[in-house]
Structure 1
Amino acid sequence: MSTRRDPVTAYVAALEKTLRGPRRATDRLVTDIREGLTDTTDAYLAEGLSRHEAADRAVRDFGPVRELAAVCQRELTLAQARETARAAAVSVPLLLACWFLARGAVGGAAAPVALLAVLALLLAAVVPALTTGPLARRLPAPRALPRLVAWASTAVGTGMGAAVLGLGVAVCLTGEWALTVPALALAAASHVVMGGAARGSRRCLVVR
């Protein structure tokens, strides 16, 4: 009984281990590549090669994992940028509500939250426009876009983390529980939403 590992299985496993991006997009891309390898293997089987020889030749046709991963990662990095933009879109109303409540409790000290809301709104509006739709068909997405998205989303997430701490202090100093506690909860929710998206974007940058 042969103990040799199937070349297609090994190739796909190595590729999947290398890629970083949204789970659904990654699974879809890996599935497409696996199906392509299977079809190529079947074509070589029809020519009379053995199963292992056919699979090995199919893998060679697809090229080194590193080269294919570089192409795939570009697509997944843009997909992660879109995921981050969607997270920013969810965060915008949370941030605006947080700013409104915090403004009533701490006045002008709530201004940074409004700035974070503007930054999140820009992410939510600009990234999809540059990566999907008519504009994306006319112009390629800027190569620096994923990096800008990663660090802008990190700024929003970190800023809201700081806002959570600041609002916690404000509760103790002002006693404005009715306004400050809901604002704190909204800031925490925004931090969670943007923090996860920002981590995903930064992970994509590491393997590019």
Structure 2
Amino acid sequence: MHSNYIVIEGLEGAGKTTAREVVVDTLKALGVRDLIFTREPGGTQLAEKLRSLVLDIKSAGDEVIVDKAEVLMFYAARVQLVETVIKPALASGAWVIGDRHDLSTQAYQGGGRGVDRQMLATLRDAVLGDFRPDLTLYLDVTPEVGLKRARARGELDRIEQESFTFFNRTRARYLELAAQSDDILTIDATRPLEEVKTAIRAAVTTWVKEQNP
């Protein structure tokens, strides 16, 4: 059954916050009023605590978070958000605009970390079933561009401090996954800002009209 769950994805510094503003303005211009916003990891009290554990460099002291533990914390936060916030909102008829969802884990952990991709797919299916976003906007930037923007914002979190090699692997996996799904639209976010905004408006407008002919 069709619902209205739009997710914005991309590397650090891809422009997800700006993209969300454009998506919201576009939806409102199309007559959508009931909007709910989420972010991952996070979005509930428990999920925000897990976010702090997995992203805050100081939260685990000197203990190194192993890759599989990182994956499991992301999924614990995700399923809590999906079951207690996203699904009820969609069931009520609201539109949900998400800052990241499962594609991030498939790209960052499956690509960047090199975690077994079949394990990730199995875990996703076990935890989320067939629940997927209706539309994902993937904002594509090179790590050089994205991390320069991210550093300009201030202190980087634990994952943002990874190497360019890590982010190149992550980006490659994003692009690979985006090419495999009609529900993922790739936006070249290295272009001038107004061009990126125009591309997002066009993508969202076309998608909404296709869903509601």
For normalisation by structure 1, the TM-score amounts to: 0.28
* Structure with higher RCO (Cα < 8 A, 6+ apart): 2
For normalisation by structure 2, the TM-score amounts to: 0.28
**Structure whose residues are more often helix by fraction:** 1
